[in-house]
Structure 1
Amino acid sequence: MDETLRERKKRETRERIADVAMGLFLARGFDNVTVAEVARAADVSVNTVFNYFGTKEDLFADRQELAVDLPQQVLREREPGEGVVRAFRRDFLDALDTRHWRYGFNLGGDIFARLVSESPALTAKVRELHVERELGLARALAEELEADPDDLAPHVVAAQILDTTRILSGYALTRMLAGEAWETIAPDLRTQAETAFGLLESGIGGYCVRPLQAAG
C-alpha cells in the first residue's frame, strides 16, 4: 500500500531529524549534544523531536524496530529443511561478505561502536536492544514450535544464538577500532564464525571436557 502525502512528510521529517542528530553525535559525542540543539539544527521544536523519538537515545537508535525484528526475520526466511542455527550461520556469513550494517560490518561501523562505548546511556540502550532481540526471537521460536509456556528451550536457544553473533561482531569491531583493515579481519572472522556456529550445530556438550587423569 502506497503511503499518503502526510505519511511521506512525517517519514521525511523523522529521517531528517535522525540524520541531523547523528551528524551532531558524530561530531561532538552523544553525551555532549542536547535535544534542544538537535531541534535547532533540524529547524523544528523540541516537542516535535519528542513526537518522533521518545528519548534522546532513540535518536541514535532510529533503526531499533528493524534491529529488534531482524532475528525474527532470519527465522521466518529460513529455507526448507534449514534449522535455525544454520539460518543464522548463513545470514551472518552473508553480512560478512557484503559488509552489511545488521552485524556492524558496514563502513563506519567502528565509529558507531566508539560512540556507544563512550556513552553510558548508549551502552545501556544497546544492552536493552539486545534483551528485546533475544525475547523477540524466543517468542517467535515458541510460537512456531507451539511450545509450552513453561518450556525454557526457546529462550536458551535464542540466547545462545544471539550471544554468539554478538561476540563475533564484537571481535570484528574491536579489531576495526584498532585500525585493522577489513581485508585482514574478514578471513579470521569467517574462521571464528564457522567454529562458533559449528559448536552450536553439534551441541556444546563435548566442548572443554576436562581430561581424565592418567592412571598410576
Structure 2
Amino acid sequence: MPRTGERGGPLTRARIAEVAARLFLERGFDAVTVAEVAREAGVSSVTVFKHFPRKEDLFLDRTAEAAELLRSAVRDRAAGVDVVASLRERTLGLLDARDPLGGLDERSTPFFATVAGSPTLIARAREIAAELQETLADELERDAGFTGDAALFAAFFIAGYSTILVGTARRLVAGEPRSELLDAHRARFERLFAALHHGLASTAC
C-alpha cells in the first residue's frame, strides 16, 4: 500500500527532486540509492520511478524544460526573426534570470561538482545533449522558414552550448568565484551566436 499522504502529481515530483538533490549534493550521486531518496521523501520507490524513470533523472531533471525551450525558440519566434536570433534571445534570458539551464545560478558550483564526481551522471549528460540535438533538428526540419541543414545546425548549437557550460563548470569547481565568471560566460555565448550567424547565415532563416 502507498504510504500515508503519498500521491502523484507535480508536488510529489518536486518534493522527490528536492530531497534527491539534497542527498546527492551532501553525499555524492553514486553513494545514494533510490530507496534512500524514497524513504527521505516519504514515498515508495515505485513512486520515485513513476516520476523519474532513471536514477540520473532525479538530478538531471530539466531535460523536458530544455527541450521545450528549443522547440519554442523555433516554433514561436516572431515573423522576420531568424533561428539564431531567437535562440540567442532565449539563452541570454536564461543568463539574466540566473536560471539553472544558463549554467551560473547560485547552485551551479555544487551541481557541477556532483556531476563531475559521477561517471554515471557525466554519461547521462552526454546522452541528454544528444537528445536535445535531435529535438532541435527535428523542430527545424518541420519549420517552413528554415531552409538549411537542420542536423548540422543543431549539432553546432548544442555542441557549442555544451562546451561553454563545461568550461564554466570546470572553473567553478576549481574555485573561481561565480561573480567573476558572469561576464566571460556571457561573452562566450555571444561568440557562439556570432559564429552561428556568420558561419551559417544562409541556413539560419
**TM-score bracket for this pair, using the shorter chain length:** 0.7 to 0.9
Unmatched 5+ residue regions in structure 1? 1-7, 206-216
Could you tell me which residue of structure 1 aligns to residue 144 of structure 2? Answer: 145
Query: Against the structure 1 CA distance between its residues 113 and 141, is the aligned structure 2 distance closer, same or farther, given a 3 Å change threshold?
Result: same
Q: CA deviation at 1:181?
A: 2.7
Query: Against the structure 1 CA distance between its residues 88 and 146, is the aligned structure 2 distance closer, same or farther, given a 3 Å change threshold?
Result: closer
Q: TM-score, normalised by structure 1?
A: 0.80
Could you tell me which residue of structure 1 aligns to residue 162 of structure 2? Answer: 166
- Equivalent-residue separation in structure 1 for 2:45 and 2:156 (angstroms): 41
Q: TM-score, normalised by structure 2?
A: 0.84
Query: Against the structure 1 CA distance between its residues 52 and 189, is the aligned structure 2 distance closer, same or farther, given a 3 Å change threshold?
Result: closer
CA contact (8 A) 2:73 2:90 kept: yes
What is the Cα-based RMSD across aligned positions, in Å? 2.4
CA contact (8 A) 2:29 2:114 kept: yes
- Equivalent-residue separation in structure 1 for 2:122 and 2:168 (angstroms): 18
Residue identity opposite 1:183 in structure 2: S
Structure number with the bigger relative contact order (C-alpha 8 A, sep ≥ 6) is 2
- Equivalent-residue separation in structure 2 for 1:39 and 1:98 (angstroms): 31
- Equivalent-residue separation in structure 2 for 1:195 and 1:54 (angstroms): 37
Q: What is the count of residue pairs matched by the alignment?
A: 195
Aligned ranges 1:16-55 → 2 under 5 Å:
16-55=15-54
Unmatched 5+ residue regions in structure 2? 1-6
The structure with more radius of gyration:
1
- Equivalent-residue separation in structure 2 for 1:174 and 1:94 (angstroms): 23
Q: Deviations over 1:148-191 (max 9, x none)?
A: xxx98100011111211222222222222222233321222333
- Equivalent-residue separation in structure 1 for 2:114 and 2:157 (angstroms): 25
Could you tell me which residue of structure 2 aligns to residue 127 of structure 1? Answer: 126
Identical pairs, percent: 37
Residue identity opposite 1:125 in structure 2: R
Query: Against the structure 1 CA distance between its residues 100 and 90, is the aligned structure 2 distance closer, same or farther, given a 3 Å change threshold?
Result: same
- Equivalent-residue separation in structure 1 for 2:184 and 2:51 (angstroms): 41
